[in-house]
Structures are given as structure tokens and as C-alpha cells.
Structure 1
């Protein structure tokens, strides 16, 4: 039985968690997914992990998970995996930014398949989104961080990634207990292959660690293991329609990131004009100028989640990336 901790008198929450033993996890062998798989197994859950390759299957078995062979391209396989489980955590996403629009469209179909498999069961479906969905509805004159309850675009033409949320929350009135976890641009830690390693590579190729303009734009961030804990707590304590922010640092100035990379690599640090961003960062330029201050205050209060790991700058300075 899961060894979850509950507030005194939380009988309803305890009862529903006791019904959850097997969790179907897409992306279970990925960077974040590995952390989530370990966290669930350590707390008494069984994990059915989606694996599209022999290497992913071997990794999951070594962790102690059961393997469900398939991929997010196979919607029937996804449905079979979800129907076997007591809950679903959806982490998989094709991080091919040259085909970003098509991948977001497919994400809607993936979420639809998972939702249809759980429809009418009241089983939990936790879907992953991104804090960046908040950038296009944010008041540019405001200095306050965005919250879990701020509006987000519902039009893919404005923000393609919003489809994760709109497609999943559509099932919240169809007998599925849906919640959303928004991840920040940097989910950091050893083994990450996301934006920070790419920015380090860009710095090495350019011969300097760059930031755009004054570098005052900020990134939220979270350690991989802290994010994994949040997914478990969302499973145990989340209510239908909840949106959670997996955010430790609510806003790290990009210049500070560039400074830390420069210090660690020994590269000079320089400001890059906005119209020269692509020459320095390549397609990452639009990510490098992202400003996305985000609060996780409500998430922490609702779930009792308290990040305990290192910060992004501490990881860079410790040589996790270079």
C-alpha cells in the first residue's frame, strides 16, 4: 500500500489513494520520467512504464517497473496501458522543435486517447504542460509572477503547447480526475538534455556565454527530483481540475545563467543584440529571451510540497553541465 502522508482527518483523500496501486507512466524512462518512476516505486506504487525501444524497456526493468511496449504514436497501445492502470501520469512529448506545431497537434490526440481510456472511471490523469503557456496572457507591465490560476491561451495559434491543458481538462467533466503539472523551461540535474545543455553548447560554439539585451528576462526552474515529488503529491492530493506549478526558483535572470556558464567554462560573457540572437543561439534565441516569472505558492500550500534540492545556478556552478 502506498506510504503516503496525510493531514489529520483527510479520510476521503486517504481512501482514494488506497485504490491506486498501478500507475501507467508515459515517458517513464526519460529524464523527468525516471525521477517520477523512482519516486513512485519508493512510495509503494507499481509502475507500468511505456517503452518504445529495447533500451528504454531494459532501463525500466532495472528500476523495478513493468514494461508496456508501445509509443505515443500508437493510440490503441496507449489506451490499453491506461485501461490496465489505476492512474495515469503523462510525461512523454516529442521535443523536436523543428516540428513543434505538429508535435503539439499530436499531443492533443495522445491526451484524447488517454482520456477516452479513463472516461467514466474517476481515475486520475495527470498531464504535463509548461509554465511558458502563461507568457502570452501575462500583463507585460506587471512585475508579479504568474500563478496557477492566471488565464492561459486556449487557441493553438497563440500558444501551441496549451493543447495539453485544453485537451485534458475537457475530460474533467467526463468522469476523469484530471490535473495538470506545468514544468518550467529548466528542469535541471545531472543527465538533463534540455535547454541548459543546449545553451552551454551554443556558448562553446560562439566562444562566449551570451544573453540577449540586458539579460533581465527570467526563467523559472526546478530540480528533477523535486519535480518528481510533486507528481506523486499531485497523484495523492490533487483534485479534479487542479493546475500545479513545479517551480523552485520563480525567476532566475538569464544574465545570471550566462554568468554562471561563463564562470564554469572560462568563456567570456557578453550581451547579444536581439537581432543577432539567432547568430549566437540559433533557434534557441526565442527561448533565450523568454521571460516567465512563475509562482508555486498555491501548489506548495495545496500539496505541502517543499523543494529541497539544489538550485539551477548551484547545479551550473557545481559542473553538472560543463
Structure 2
């Protein structure tokens, strides 16, 4: 196949390019900076200069391609509404439009369980769940809207669209989640919300890629699939192990959930009204994603795609130590 990737220089994108090349596919990847161009080229992909605002770059990159993987997104917890909608919603629509125009056969979109933040607790969520009427935060809102647009585009101009929704992506090469946690530890800001002894689903980056490739080859059009490493684990124990792979001892400090919720609410209000520089120290949407149980059911991916999740947590930790 010839595959076009957005977000190719990112955590998931780099691993995806390697896997596509390993199975003999030609890969093109959108690159919005000189550094991104160098990164995707080093991974063996052909860089296509541009970003999600550039319809012409998307069209040019997808020309002659069989498949598209849309992994790029604005993943910040705080920012302007304009930026979130421009990248996550309008950018996704431009990807859909370009794929239709290029007569691409399949589009796989990397979604997230975060789209359900603002509704009931995300406990054993499956693909029958619908988005809450009032998502909590711009990231959940815009990623949910993007998810809907991708699924709604199935069948248009012969395009098959599939969404994968991994929960808590981790592994070697993570430049965001673990580094941010470690920085909070080093600056004395890290606390276990409510003790941290609740369950969480996780999905190693290699398993995310496994799910993407299976979705591309076997996914039913207009369908979404959750992806995980298997059975949920205790959040505190899992994050502590991740920190240990970087030589960082997890702290013992805790913050009651009720206090954290109050801090997040007051902080968000202050940052919106005043406004203050930077971003609030805690967000309500983040609190819902890492301060309480978040578990999802990937039985559909296992049954329909043959998804296994070959990378075990033990092997993932060993890889991070190497």
C-alpha cells in the first residue's frame, strides 16, 4: 500500500511509520516544520511540507495513496477555542475532504476516550456509548466532533472510514505525558488524586499501531474500536512503574478528590476571567481522565479485527529501560 500519515513526527506517528515500512508499504507524512521533515525522513517516510490548514498539501500528499491515517491533533488541556476547533475539527474535515478527492480507499482516525468526559463516569465504556451533551473541556469537545465527522463520512466517494480509540498511550519515545509527570515530581507539584488507587485502562504505543494497521485492513466502515493492553491496572502502581523506568521514584503526596475538584474549578475560572498567563495548574477534564477510574472495553476490536495487543506491560517497561 501507499499510505499518507498526519502527525507522522509525533509519538504514535513515528512508531506507525516504522511499522508501515516494515511491512513493505510506501509512506508519506505531513510535516509542518523543518524538524518534522527531518524526523519523518529519518523514519523512512517521504515528507510532505504543510499542516492541517493546508488543503493543497493534504491533497498533494494523498494523491495516489490507498490509505490515510489521521494521527495529528491539538492535544493540549488548555488553549483558545479557535485553535482547538481549527486543528481538531476543521483540520479533520480537510483530511476527510482531501481523502475523498484523492479517491483514497480507507481513512483511519486516531480518536480518544476523552470525548466522553463530561458525561457519566468512564467505566467499562464501549462503542455503544454516545457523546455527552456538554463535554467538559475543549479537547473532549473537539475530538468528539472530529470522531463524528470521520464516521459520518463513511461511504462518501467510496471512502471507508474507521476510528480507533486507544486509552492512555504510553511507551518508549513518549515526549509528553511521562516527561510532564516527571517535571511535576521534580518541582514538587505532583500529587496522587484521591490516593491514585483506582483502575485505568492503558494502551502501549505498539498496540496502538497494531490496532491502526488492523483497522486499515479489516475495520468495518463507519465503526469505532477501543484499544487497550488488556485488563485494567491500578493507576498509581502503573504510573509509579513508568517513572521508575526513568530513574524517578514516585512521590507519596496525595490530594483528596474533592479538594482537587475545587482547585480545578477555581483555577479555570481565574484563568478565564483575569486572564492569567500560561494555564491553570489543574483542569477539570484532566481530573476526570487521570484522577478517577477510566476503563474501556476493547472486546469489539479483539472479535472483529483480531486485535491482540501483543506488547505486554512488562515488555513495554523493559523497552523503556533499554
State the TM-score, normalizing by the size of structure 1.
0.80
* Counterpart residue number, 2:254: 271
Alpha-carbon RMSD across the aligned residues, in angstroms, is 3.0
Rounded Cα–Cα distance in structure 1 between residues aligned with 2:229 and 2:250: 28
1:60 aligns with 2:40: yes
Number of matched residues? 294
Structure 1 partner of 2:22: 42
**Aligned with 1:298 (options 296, 300, 305):** 300
Q: Deviations over 1:284-311 (max 9, x none)?
A: 6624314321111110111111112242
Distance in 2, matches of 1:29 and 1:271, equals: 35
Structure 1 stretches of at least 4 aligned residues deviating more than 4 Å after TM superposition: 154-158, 261-264, 276-279, 313-316
CA deviation string 1:53-107 (max 9, x = no partner):
2222222222221121111232332233233422111001123332164343121
Question: In the TM superposition, what are the counterparts of 1:164-313 in structure 2 within 5 Å?
Answer: 164-175=146-157, 176-184=159-167, 186-206=168-188, 210-257=191-238, 259-260=240-241, 265-274=248-257, 275-276=259-260, 282-283=281-282, 286=287, 287-311=289-313
Partner Cα distance (1:315, 1:200) in 2: 18
Structure 1 residue 76 corresponds to structure 2 residue 56 = yes
Gaps of 5+ in 2: 268-279
Question: For 1:283, what is the secondary structure of its paired residue?
Answer: coil
Q: What is the distance in 1 between the residues matched to 2:233 and 2:293?
A: 9
Q: TM-score, normalised by structure 2?
A: 0.80
The whole-number CA distance in structure 1 between the counterparts of 2:311 and 2:107 is 26
Distance 1:31 1:309, change over 3 A: same
Change (3 A) 1:39 1:198: same
Q: Which residue of the partner structure matches residue 28 of structure 1?
A: 8
Could you tell which deviates more after superposition, 64-73 or 234-243? 64-73
Structure 1 segments unaligned to the other structure (5+ residues): 1-20
Q: State the distance in 2 between where 1:51 and 1:216 align.
A: 40
Closer, same or farther in 2 for the Cα pair 1:243/1:100, shift >3 Å? Answer: farther
